[in-house]
Amino acid sequence: MAQEYAYITGGASGLGKAVAIQLASKGIKSFIADRNTAGAEATAQEIGGDFATVDVTSWESQVAGFKKAVELFGRVDYVFAIAGIGSNDWMPPTQTNGDFQKPNLSVTEVNVHGMLMTVSLGVQQFRRQTANSHGFRGKVVVAGSVCGVYPSPGLSIYAASKHAVTGLVRSWGPELPAEGITLNCLIPSVMRTNISTPEFFDALESEGLLTPLHGAVDACEQLLGSNPVSGQCFEIGPDYDNGQGFTHPKFATFTDEKHRLVFDKLAVRGVSFKLGAENSKFLEAKSQYF
């Protein structure tokens, strides 16, 4: 079996680090990209990989880190877009006078814009390289959240950012296998990471409400190699170790046949933006995804 390579954002700690360690146990070499230089270096040393200091909100920073990985490895088989931050008070304080204030969109800058740039880099690289021994040019796994499936009062901006993840994966994921590429996401419930405080995690754990980190790592492992799944969301909850395992959430279906037909038309129009109307056969085939 040929050597495989992975690129992981957010690999200095939490889920990203756990994934890197698991990949190393499978013989996969990883490149760690994180703004936490010391943490990224520590993870890289632990797994025998390499690292770069990367700010995922910066295209230039992401490109520099990704290029370093490609130059080092020669190819990238897996991209894990794990980097993310928690919610914040994104709305400015209420004022009765004065000018309007810009909202704090740092959460979407990391969780949406940063994620999209990482995914784009991965797919661009996959399109430049041949299929590996498993028959794939590359695979992308994105870190989502149950907040990207269910209403999350109190976490509105974070929920919005994670709905972007599930929307991207469910919409683009079915298209990519035709190119030898897959795109899936993890949607765990609350896990013990650096996204909140130890006290918060301890309180959840005492009530049996904390999701084990290894559940999300197991889901990543399922997507390695020759698994053809794409466009799927893997939910991991507090009962993962109690026989539940990972599940696929039940997203809303079309209200009626006319709604489905509308989305058939939207799909065709969406592809026409990329390929031009002359690619009629490919456009007609788009309806298979709905």
CATH architecture classification, 5-252:
3-Layer(aba) Sandwich (3.40)
- 197 versus 12: which is more confidently predicted? 12
Name the percent of the chain lying above pLDDT 70.
93
Express each pLDDT in 141-158 by its tens digit: 999 999 999 999 999 999
Q: Which of 285, 290, 182 is nearest to 232 (CA)?
A: 182
Structure-block tokens of residue 249: 């959430």
Residue 265 CB-half CA count within 13 A:
6
Please name the residues in contact with 290: beta carbons below 8 A apart, sequence gap of 6 or more.
Answer: 260, 263, 264, 267
Cross-strand pairs, 236 = 188, 246
Calculate mean pLDDT across residues 254-269: 85
Give span(s): CATH 3.40.50.720, the chain: 5-252
| pLDDT tens, residue by residue, 50-83 | 999 999 999 999 999 999 999 999 999 999 999 9
Give the pTM.
Answer: 0.90
In this predicted model, what pLDDT tens digit does every residue of 160-186 receive, in sequence order? 999 999 999 999 999 999 999 999 999
